């Protein structure tokens, strides 16, 4: 579903401005980095975020792409609100559009065109919670036991972890207690009693 974000309105709903309130470019880049990490790839490709042009660094184009997200600067517009209103009105499928802004002016524009809207604070909180849950599931799905070919040190670790048994299923303790018997069996490859009937026949 296409997403249209009021950039500065969302920024003020976060704590990103806290580090340096006067550095708008750094704040914008931090917000875009967060969105790029929190949104799925398909969502990013359908997302547009709009910023005022007054605080934009000189030389930036009207439109650029950051992490697959379309970034618009409201050049030649009184403010970002005016550009967002125009984008809502000109959207070919406004009823499928979700507008993220707490600005009542923008919300009225969305409602008049049949678009959905959500307050920036609520949308940001939901997105952050979704990101936390995704990372929790990722940690839970990570296997404790390593995958693929194991090194000798990894093999030693897992053998010790699961009881210190060798490949024959005999523990080191068992091996030491029955050392003589083990050596005898290793020198005699056949089971006890095997071939004794042949020896009796010969005698």
Phi and psi of 63, rounded to 5°?
-135, 135
- pLDDT score for 133: 79
Q: DSSP letter at 17? A: G
What average pLDDT does range 42-53 have in this prediction?
Answer: 94
- pLDDT score for 117: 96
The pLDDT mean for the chain works out to 76
What average pLDDT does range 57-79 have in this prediction?
Answer: 87
Give residue-wise pLDDT tens across range 4-21.
999 999 998 887 765 555
What percent of the chain clears pLDDT 70, i.e. is strictly above it?
64
For helices 24-38 and 120-141, give the axis angle rounded to 10 degrees: 50
Weakest mean pLDDT among 32-46, 48-62, 111-125, 176-190 = 176-190
What average pLDDT does range 26-43 have in this prediction?
Answer: 90
CA-to-CA distance for 201 and 174, rounded, in angstroms? 38
Give residue-wise pLDDT tens across range 75-86.
889 999 999 999
User: Given pLDDT bands bounded at 50, 70 and 90, which one contains residue 132?
Assistant: confident
Give residue-wise pLDDT tens across range 143-166.
555 555 556 665 666 566 555 444
- pLDDT score for 112: 96
CA-to-CA distance for 174 and 134, rounded, in angstroms? 47
Two tokens, residue 111: 């409602």
Two tokens, residue 51: 């910023």
Q: Three-state DSSP class for 98?
A: strand
- pLDDT score for 159: 62
What average pLDDT does range 174-179 have in this prediction?
Answer: 44
- pLDDT score for 108: 96
Whether residue 124 has pLDDT greater than 80: yes
- pLDDT score for 65: 93
């Amino acid at each position: 579903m296409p997403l249209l974000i009021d950039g500065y309105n969302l920024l003020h709903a976060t704590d990103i401005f806290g580090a340096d309130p006067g550095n708008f470019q750094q704040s914008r880049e931090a917000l875009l980095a967060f969105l790029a990490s929190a949104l799925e790839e398909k969502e990013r490709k359908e997302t547009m975020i709009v910023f005022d042009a007054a605080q934009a660094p000189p030389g930036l184009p009207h439109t650029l792409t950051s992490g697959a997200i379309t970034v618009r600067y409201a050049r030649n517009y009184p403010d970002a609100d005016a550009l967002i209103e125009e984008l809502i009105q000109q959207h070919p499928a406004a009823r499928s559009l979700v507008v993220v802004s707490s600005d009542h002016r923008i919300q009225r524009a969305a409602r008049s065109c049949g678009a959905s809207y959500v307050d920036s604070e609520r949308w940001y909180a939901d997105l952050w919670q979704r990101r936390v849950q995704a990372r929790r599931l990722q940690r839970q799905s990570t296997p404790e036991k390593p995958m693929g070919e194991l090194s000798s040190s990894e093999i030693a670790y897992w053998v010790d972890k699961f009881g210190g048994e060798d490949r024959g299923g005999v523990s080191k303790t068992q091996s030491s207690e029955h050392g003589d018997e083990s050596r005898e069996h290793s020198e005699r490859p056949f089971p006890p009693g095997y071939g004794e009937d042949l020896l009796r026949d010969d005698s």
